[in-house]
Structure 1
């Protein structure tokens, strides 16, 4: 019972040792214990295997998310270049320059100049005004960028959640493993105690049956000895009577 409780209390130390959270002195003491305890060796191997499996799964998930992040960044750069190319190069200064270039040489004719100025300004404005952006093209360019940004944010949140879930999963697996091993040990101990009690009961019954059989045999032997003693006594008495009869017979003859 003491050894079982001691090994059960060492499970937290074994888990801390596998996770690298145990001090040097305690780790050395635990390693010394593991060399001589098969139960703790089995628990250490099982917990270490589970830890390696979780680390491998988490590493694969991180690599996959990193690859997706790289692809998203590359796509984002391409979309940024497309949006930059669609920006118009003409400005309002070009429009003013064209207007003044048209009407200043004709200032001497005010009436005609006004008409020509209006017409020239209208024509020049139509010719040099920046082209209106293509709303559909901008929408097509911006929508993937927004979608990629949202997806990247979602993946960052999923990564953070995966890290939290990984830690929680390790704790749950450790607790479940601890409970399973504790339940198995308790069941095995209860079965062992029941078997031991049954064997002790059978042994006591066997001893009592043997004692009763021996007592009966001793009683029969004593009765047989007593019967033989009584028979021998009766025979000895009969022999004495016979001897006395033979001795008294010559004496009686002499008396006559």
Structure 2
């Protein structure tokens, strides 16, 4: 079986909905294919997360609020599906976790039905929203170690949904920007990190990267970020770039312009 066929049938395989012959073929393929084995383990982990959520019967006084919440999640989810369709990625991991978020909130709504207190309901909603964020963060951290560069880029793209990511997420992105063996992954990580200009560790990472990174494309991205946030500590490493003979001319132009804008 081809990997594409495996990915299309993973959900039914885990759910036990495939004929015995197809299930056996998938089992054999997963044993010999690291990429499909990784996808299988990630998908199974998602299913296990669902099993931890208890389902309760909602009370009438919270039914209206629940359906309003569900409609908001559905609208957000629909908007994201359009973006994923346009990107044509092999397996829509981001879509899967946005669906996961919706399902968690849906089950949470039923759980909230067993409470009559508005204050308790608000507390439970906050807890469920936190659980959704943690679920996305866990998947991002798992996927960012994948052997496939495309999977690592997908993992990096998860951060667009994080308003205030955990430190471990930022550290994982910084490691990718600094040391990933694929330049596209490093650029994607730099772009993702640039969305958090107020973070101290992000600022420090960009300043350090300016002294260590040699790829012109990444150097340009780093300079542009540091100029945008008006980081005066970046002037010294930019000056060093100007003095290095191996620095590309267009990078020197960007560094020289950046120094002028920061001063």
Q: TM-score, normalised by structure 2?
A: 0.27
Higher-Rg member (1/2)? 1
